Amino acid sequence: MLQIAILGFGVVGSGTAEVLQENRARIAKHCGEEVNVKYILDLRDFPDHPLGDRVVHDINVILADPEVVLVAEMMGGSHPAYEFTVAALRAGKSVVTSNKEVVSTFGDELLEIAREHHVSYYFEASVGGGIPIIRPLQTDLASNEILGISGILNGTTNFILTKMKNEGADFATVLKEAQARGYAEADPTADVEGIDAARKIVILAALAYGVLLDPKSISTTGITGITADHTAVADKLGGAIKLIGHTERVDGRVLAMVSPFLIPAGNPVCHVDGVFNGILVDANMLGRALFYGAGAGKLPTASAVVADILDILSHKESERLAPVWRRAKAEDVADADALVCRRCYLIEGCPRCAEKAKAALGGEICAFIREGAFFVVSRPMSGGEAREALSATGLEAVFCLPVLD
């Protein structure tokens, strides 16, 4: 019997135990023997839970037990999750996690420690909930050069933007509904300000390019400023506004950013609605592939955690090569302004102003959403080039949205 421990018995931790119990026969067949949760580490007790007798309150009980070969960390937050992960790896125990904050902040260090101690550190559930995306990038697409990754990485913001588009509701009203339905936290800052998506795109960038950026330093714009004018422009163009995490290489540097993008109808990401996530990977041999599904939730995320558990335990006799990430230096990082794409500007002015802006930005699309307010979609150019072109006209933009073609 293979013994494991769960750190954190909240939504995902309890979901992981549920998946292991519900599918125990299938899991045993896959691993060659039964998988048993020997310990659950939590500050609380769970006397009414079937596994309540497994609860311990001291990590050292788990670290000192040689029977425990794997630890599933789902505590949330950086500390003490980081310290417990380091201790488990150094004790010769593999670790799987759903903790995007720890992976995006300390992933390079933790992968190195895992290599040094001949164990594994897996984190499929840290991005996209139940959507398989980490493993495909590491294995199925290993022979491809990743040209770019763009994705809806946060279900809360996608729910809000979908409702704003379909019902014409304002941000504050839809946010309250999302909170009432359990899609948004009481403090939704990490979601609506793009912090959650920033951590996830940093992880995807590290997988694609081997460089771990600081999630706090990348350009991050949330959705709190999205108004009826934004949705009116998207409607006119037949597209949608989505909060996108995007990464690509620009002149050898890694660009990563989070921002509301205007998505044309021809891009499959445009049609990912509600709480679902969609991650578009562009590879030089495969082309474009969309990974779509439930980006959060108890059982979808737990499913990804258990997938990592099975992968490690079913290959316990063979050592897997962990990816090598290095911490980004200033010269490794491209500014978000370096992104070359079409940009959609909303500008207040008269028809003559519209013609002037259209000519300056090389735009093919220009239309009024109401009297005295028009939008123009530029030709593909960098952010700096676009600003300079618009500045030369003497016009000022109410807002600018990058376009994800």
Which residues are designated catalytic?
200
**Eight-class DSSP state of 181:** T
Please return the burial class of 118, using the count of CB atoms within 10 Å of its CB with bins 0-12, 13-18 and 19+: exposed
Instruction: Give the integer Cα–Cα distance in Å for 182 and 185.
Output: 7
Count the neighbouring beta carbons within 10 Å of the beta carbon of residue 36. Answer: 15
Instruction: Give the integer Cα–Cα distance in Å for 352 and 133.
Output: 48
- Do 292 and 129 contact (CB within 8 A), yes or no? no
Query: Which residue stretches of 47-99 are H helix?
Result: 59-63, 81-90
Instruction: Give the integer Cα–Cα distance in Å for 193 and 184.
Output: 12
Token code pair at residue 95: 């670790």
Instruction: Give the integer Cα–Cα distance in Å for 297 and 303.
Output: 10
Q: Which of 337, 349, 331 is nearest to 219 (CA)?
A: 337
Instruction: Give the integer Cα–Cα distance in Å for 59 and 84.
Output: 7
H/E stretch holding 385: helix 383-391
Instruction: Give the integer Cα–Cα distance in Å for 221 and 223.
Output: 7
> Coil, helix or strand for 386?
helix
Token code pair at residue 332: 């490794």
Token code pair at residue 45: 């007790």
